[in-house]
Amino acid sequence: MLGSIEAGGTKINCAVGHQDGTIVKQIQIATTTPDENVAQIVAFFQEHPVEAIGIGCFGPVNVDKESADYGSLLDTPKQQWRFYPFLATLKQQLAIPIELHSDVTVSGLGEVHLGGGKGDNFVLYVTIGTGIGGGVILNDQLLRSPRHPEMGHVTMQRVEGDQLVSVCPFHDNCFEGLASGPAIEKRWGKKGSELPPDHPAWEMEADYIAQGLLQMIVVLAPDRVIIGGGVMKQQQLLSRIREKVQEKLNGYTYYDRLENMEQLIITPVLGDDAGLIGGLLLADYANNM
């Protein structure tokens, strides 16, 4: 049996299951303090013993396996978690192999093995949620440089008439600052989930997402781009994003997939389970080290 932890800023999901992605048992706990959460996680895995665990963790987090601080949180806005040695504490208490990467990359791993990116060598996974982040899976390896990629702060060209004061504390015109869930809510005064599918918000959103993806695509030249996260629950976005990426490429066809947007850009098929399933796969990596 393998274990999986999807540690987010508001909730932590823990599961036990198998490397084929089957989840046997799972729990959800609220993210509070590291001490309290670790005690809950340890109790769960004592009750449901596993051979190894894979963790997808909110960031920024140290993902450098060579570092003494591998699996420690970095300078996160969640004060109590800043610099907390998450992986080391769990390893000490559970005494089994555990691997950790960013939540985004681990969800991407799930999609590459068992979802829409099956068989692709080079996948970019982007999430548009409370934040915007990207992960890269290349030949079954999770990119650690030794850091995990972030990608949400690439520069946007403002859509005409968009006066929003960016929600990013660092940048007036970045992807996360203009196109994350909180940016949508601030701009239109309502949560994205409350805006109707034909609201002008989505045309603007599709433009920003297309700009962000375009930059990532021309830099990385991936086989596949998978876009997930809460905002992508707006199903009308995908086709507009594909059209707009195509328009913005403006005839640039460096490789075949750039001529087939339906193949290049997809949404996750594992849905909300991608992170936990990715964690099971990462646990399998940890087990085979």
Which residues sit at the interface with Zn ion, rule CB under 5 A? 153, 168, 170-171, 174, 177
CB neighbours of 6 closer than 8 A, spacing ≥ 6? 12, 13, 14, 55, 56, 103, 106, 275, 276, 279
Report the C-alpha gap between 258 and 249 in whole angstroms.
8
Q: Which is nearer to ligand ADP, 32 or 92 (CB)?
A: 32
Q: Which is nearer to ligand ADP, 171 or 233 (CB)?
A: 233
Which runs of consecutive H residues, i.e. helices, occur in the chain? 34-47, 86-94, 103-114, 175-179, 181-188, 200-220, 237-249, 261-264, 274-287
Are 111 and 117 in contact by the 8 Å Cβ rule? The answer is yes
CB neighbours of 161 closer than 8 A, spacing ≥ 6? none
Tell me if 3 contacts ligand ADP by CB under 6 A.
Answer: no
Work out how close the CB of 231 gets to ligand ADP at its nearest, in angstroms, rounded to a whole number: 4
- Helix 200-220 to helix 237-249 angle, to the nearest 10 degrees? 50
Tell me if 182 contacts ligand ADP by CB under 6 A.
Answer: yes
Tell me if 193 contacts ligand ADP by CB under 6 A.
Answer: yes
Q: Interface mask (CB under 6 A) for ligand ADP, residues 248-277, using x and -?
A: ------------------------------
Q: Which does 199 bind (CB under 5 to 8 A by kind): ligand ADP, Zn ion, none?
A: none
Task: Pick the stretch among 28-36, 128-136, 165-173, 262-270 that binds ligand ADP (CB under 6 A).
Answer: 128-136
Q: Which does 231 bind (CB under 5 to 8 A by kind): Zn ion, ligand ADP, none?
A: ligand ADP
